[in-house]
A and B are shown apart, each in its own frame.
With several copies, the nearest count.
Chain A
């Protein structure tokens, strides 16, 4: 038994950390988040060139053929760097297309970086539960017609391909459309986390041809569920990277900031806050690494491992961010301190794919009702 990153995974970690340290310092993050897209073409092609957009996907699907642990390693480093841009949406869409069989023409451009992606799931009720999807897909010719509104769609504002989760006559339907298709209207929404943008997507009688039909019924649900697990993992690992940054930064600050003639890190109250931050961060790491491993190696445990991780990390990440501000005092509360970037991204991630309360109910269903 070996509960640690393998040597290649550690090299990957170092390489990702170096790339982001070099090409995505906080200054660059701030410039990018002030733009409409948060997208840096050069940075994006670096990520694409590394193969990270399909790192966990089969080579036959245009991926690197590594696993979900490797994906988590990259996502953690993105979180540590507050990496801006449409990684989440693109990886989610690619994973979904791959899980649905990998035959779609939309898949490869996503993994090569030629296209950006997004998955449109949420609707006005803000529910992450696919059972609540209502947007209608009406069979038309060999394809479908789509009408309705999706909300809170990560990265839709720069997506070339949008996979819409809709309700057909026989259950869920996954339909890939081009952002430029007639009737697709994308409206950016301004939100807390400016490093990863959200948008509303409206479908006004959009025609989806047969080659846009990714999956229907049971197969659609299965692919969607798997992709949700992977996307949740990416989010949780991103949160872990953020927690790690906040912890390190807070400890560093506590070692140098003086009040009452002593560094504040010598006060028990500050020490205990930092100790709790470490406990939450390391416990999150255990939960996330395990979920990443289970997702690849033990599919039967994957749903439960992911739900467990999102419960734990959603609360832990928020508390670490809160303690981080408290350790810093006033300066941690300012726009100029980089803590704010992580604070907001952490909060957005807490909401993404459902908060702790949502996932506790998933845990209960899996663990108690079986």
Chain B
């Protein structure tokens, strides 16, 4: 057991730090919250992705033959951590690089690899992911969006929901039903769809916070060439599962830094806010809660590190990802509540501290729902890790 970095890991980190110091763009005042500046914000993010690409930091865990860096999972984690520590801009290419690209590498044709991988790495093409539907949330296999083959084109009709980036994406990894007579899991196909194809409508979906974090996508007689099938026809379930376990392999290294920053910001408040006439940080009751937040976060870091170390050996993301997901989603909710308690009446003000606390408190409710509810994660752990029989 050695939790220190190996010399090569250290070298990777040091080079990255040096690179970041030289290449990190200045902060932008643009943001998606302001429709007027959203376009400028996206251009800014595209520039950043291009810079990462030019620096050799795009798709860092992809095999070298596909333009990646062939980095280990641990280096990937270091990468995410360093970006977060440097407060780097978000990466618009995460769905392409983390989810779509690796899946194309695994099951795509040579043509598909040539056509799509470069654009993912350079950030020139932004991807979104069309899995969930209004009636297929936790139960993905129930999806109803249909694709019928006519000649060498699929005609797609239906609706997707919870699609991040759909409003700016160039391409979509879409799962559709191609065989309605087969059993639920067996009639699905994965399509790589150009978002400019006629018949696609994207509508922003407002969250309870009032922000538009997701979209709905509507497909009306959208024609997709048969060459855009990823994997085989009616093998879409397998492709989707591959994509999702690639996503889970991420394991939340970047999240840790984000949560840690939140806690640090709460501590800043706890030093300024008063409780019983003294700084809140000195209040024994709040100290207990803040200490628990600190412990939970530290355990999250350690769980993640341990899982990464495991993944680094086996190379295969397993159901352990469910443990991480379950842990961080509930941790983030607990800690958001603790933040509210520290802030007292200030907690509710939308203008206080740029409204980050309210946003955080409301946003985190989605954590135990998105990417598999906590209930589904517990089922997965019980059944696939502990070997208990299916419950339904």
Per-residue CB contact flags for chain A residues 262-295 toward chain B (1 = under 8 Å, else 0) read: 1101111111101110110011011101101110
Q: Which of A4, A258, A325, A330: most chain B Cβ within 10 A?
A: A330
In the bound complex, CA of A192 to CA of B267 (Å) = 22
Min CB–CB distance A190 → chain B (angstroms): 4
Min CB–CB distance B348 → chain A (angstroms): 4
User: Residues of A contacting B137 with CB < 8 Å?
Assistant: 259, 329-330
Q: Is there a chain B Cβ closer than 8 Å to A216's Cβ?
A: no
Please tell me if the beta carbons of B205 and A334 are within 8 angstroms of each other in the complex: yes
Q: Is there a chain A Cβ closer than 8 Å to B4's Cβ?
A: yes
User: Residues of B contacting A308 with CB < 8 Å?
Assistant: 294-295, 298-299
Kindly identify which residue among B74, B267, B298 contacts A1, using a CB–CB cutoff of 8 Å: B74
Asked whether A290 and B381 contact (CB < 8 A) given A126-B345, A152-B345, A271-B391, the answer is no
Please tell me if the beta carbons of A367 and B210 are within 8 angstroms of each other in the complex: no
In the bound complex, CA of A344 to CA of B3 (Å) = 33
Asked whether A271 and B382 contact (CB < 8 A) given A326-B374, A360-B287, the answer is yes
Q: Is there a chain A Cβ closer than 8 Å to B273's Cβ?
A: yes
Min CB–CB distance A56 → chain B (angstroms): 13
User: Residues of A contacting B291 with CB < 8 Å?
Assistant: 311, 360-361, 363-364, 367-368
Per-residue CB contact flags for chain B residues 291-315 toward chain A (1 = under 8 Å, else 0) read: 1101110110011011011100100
Min CB–CB distance B297 → chain A (angstroms): 10
Kindly identify which residue among A3, A270, A337 contacts B306, using a CB–CB cutoff of 8 Å: A3
Give the tally of cross-chain contacts (CB within 8 A): 254
Asked whether A189 and B351 contact (CB < 8 A) given A282-B303, A357-B341, the answer is yes
In the bound complex, CA of A276 to CA of B388 (Å) = 14
Please tell me if the beta carbons of A191 and B389 are within 8 angstroms of each other in the complex: no
Please tell me if the beta carbons of B295 and A69 are within 8 angstroms of each other in the complex: no
In the bound complex, CA of A269 to CA of B368 (Å) = 14
Please tell me if the beta carbons of B306 and A360 are within 8 angstroms of each other in the complex: no
Please tell me if the beta carbons of B388 and A368 are within 8 angstroms of each other in the complex: no
User: Residues of B contacting A368 with CB < 8 Å?
Assistant: 267, 270, 281, 287, 290-291, 294
Interface residues of A in 286-306 (CB under 8 A from B): 286-287, 289-290, 292-294, 297-298
Please tell me if the beta carbons of B4 and A330 are within 8 angstroms of each other in the complex: no
> Which one of A37-45, A86-94, A156-164, A347-355 is at the B interface?
A347-355
Q: Is there a chain A Cβ closer than 8 Å to B109's Cβ?
A: no
User: Residues of B contacting A335 with CB < 8 Å?
Assistant: 206-208, 210
Kindly identify which residue among B285, B295, B323 contacts A363, using a CB–CB cutoff of 8 Å: B295
Per-residue CB contact flags for chain B residues 139-179 toward chain A (1 = under 8 Å, else 0) read: 10010000000000000000001100000000000000000
Interface size on B, as a range, is 35 or more
Please tell me if the beta carbons of B292 and A360 are within 8 angstroms of each other in the complex: yes
> Which one of B191-199, B229-237, B358-366 is at the A interface?
B358-366
In the bound complex, CA of A270 to CA of B281 (Å) = 38
Per-residue CB contact flags for chain B residues 249-286 toward chain A (1 = under 8 Å, else 0) read: 00000000000000000010010011001000100110
Q: Is there a chain A Cβ closer than 8 Å to B378's Cβ?
A: yes
Q: Is there a chain B Cβ closer than 8 Å to A312's Cβ?
A: yes
User: Residues of B contacting A262 with CB < 8 Å?
Assistant: 392
User: Residues of A contacting B313 with CB < 8 Å?
Assistant: 4
Q: Is there a chain B Cβ closer than 8 Å to A322's Cβ?
A: yes
Size of the A side of the interface (Cβ < 8 Å), in residues, is 86
Q: Is there a chain A Cβ closer than 8 Å to B326's Cβ?
A: yes
Please tell me if the beta carbons of B288 and A361 are within 8 angstroms of each other in the complex: yes
In the bound complex, CA of A278 to CA of B385 (Å) = 9
Determine the main DSSP class of B at the interface with A: helix
Closest B residue by C-beta to A268:
B391
Asked whether A6 and B1 contact (CB < 8 A) given A191-B350, A258-B135, A260-B139, the answer is yes
Please tell me if the beta carbons of B292 and A311 are within 8 angstroms of each other in the complex: yes
Please tell me if the beta carbons of B162 and A190 are within 8 angstroms of each other in the complex: no
Min CB–CB distance A361 → chain B (angstroms): 7
In the bound complex, CA of A351 to CA of B344 (Å) = 7
Kindly identify which residue among A271, A287, A294, A326 contacts B379, using a CB–CB cutoff of 8 Å: A271
Asked whether A255 and B388 contact (CB < 8 A) given A2-B309, A260-B139, the answer is yes
User: Residues of B contacting A293 with CB < 8 Å?
Assistant: 1-3
In the bound complex, CA of A6 to CA of B382 (Å) = 28
Please tell me if the beta carbons of B142 and A333 are within 8 angstroms of each other in the complex: no
In the bound complex, CA of A271 to CA of B392 (Å) = 12
Per-residue CB contact flags for chain B residues 374-386 toward chain A (1 = under 8 Å, else 0) read: 1101110111011
Please tell me if the beta carbons of B348 and A192 are within 8 angstroms of each other in the complex: yes
In the bound complex, CA of A5 to CA of B310 (Å) = 11
Q: Is there a chain A Cβ closer than 8 Å to B387's Cβ?
A: yes
Q: Is there a chain A Cβ closer than 8 Å to B138's Cβ?
A: yes
Please tell me if the beta carbons of B365 and A276 are within 8 angstroms of each other in the complex: no
In the bound complex, CA of A337 to CA of B206 (Å) = 10
In the bound complex, CA of A125 to CA of B346 (Å) = 9
User: Residues of A contacting B132 with CB < 8 Å?
Assistant: 330
Please tell me if the beta carbons of B309 and A3 are within 8 angstroms of each other in the complex: yes
Q: Is there a chain A Cβ closer than 8 Å to B9's Cβ?
A: yes
Closest A residue by C-beta to B210:
A335
Q: Is there a chain A Cβ closer than 8 Å to B54's Cβ?
A: no
Asked whether A334 and B381 contact (CB < 8 A) given A1-B305, A126-B345, the answer is no
User: Residues of A contacting B299 with CB < 8 Å?
Assistant: 283, 286-287, 308, 312
User: Residues of B contacting A4 with CB < 8 Å?
Assistant: 1, 306, 309-310, 313
In the bound complex, CA of A108 to CA of B5 (Å) = 36
User: Residues of B contacting A337 with CB < 8 Å?
Assistant: 208
Min CB–CB distance B368 → chain A (angstroms): 6
Min CB–CB distance A135 → chain B (angstroms): 16
Q: Is there a chain A Cβ closer than 8 Å to B390's Cβ?
A: yes
Interface residues of A in 1-33 (CB under 8 A from B): 1-6, 9
Pull 19 A–B residue pairs with CB atoms less than 8 Å apart, ordered by A. A1-B305, A2-B1, A125-B273, A258-B135, A260-B139, A265-B382, A266-B388, A268-B375, A272-B375, A274-B382, A279-B381, A283-B303, A292-B1, A325-B365, A329-B137, A351-B348, A357-B285, A364-B288, A368-B290
Q: Which 3 pairs from chain A and chain B are nearest by CB?
A: A271-B382, A335-B206, A340-B208
Given contacts A3-B309, A276-B378, A286-B306, 6 further A-B contacts (CB under 8 A): A1-B309, A3-B306, A258-B135, A259-B137, A293-B1, A293-B3
Residues of B within 8 A of A (CB): 1-6, 9, 74, 132, 134-139, 142, 161-162, 205-208, 210, 267, 270, 273-274, 277, 281, 284-285, 287-288, 290-292, 294-296, 298-299, 302-303, 305-306, 308-310, 313, 323, 326-327, 333, 337, 340-341, 344-351, 358, 361-362, 365-366, 368-370, 373-375, 377-379, 381-383, 385-392
Residues of A within 8 A of B (CB): 1-6, 9, 69, 122, 125-127, 132, 151-152, 189-193, 198, 251, 254-255, 258-263, 265-272, 274-276, 278-279, 282-283, 285-287, 289-290, 292-294, 297-298, 308, 311-312, 318, 322, 325-326, 329-337, 339-340, 343-344, 347-348, 351, 355, 357, 360-361, 363-364, 367-368
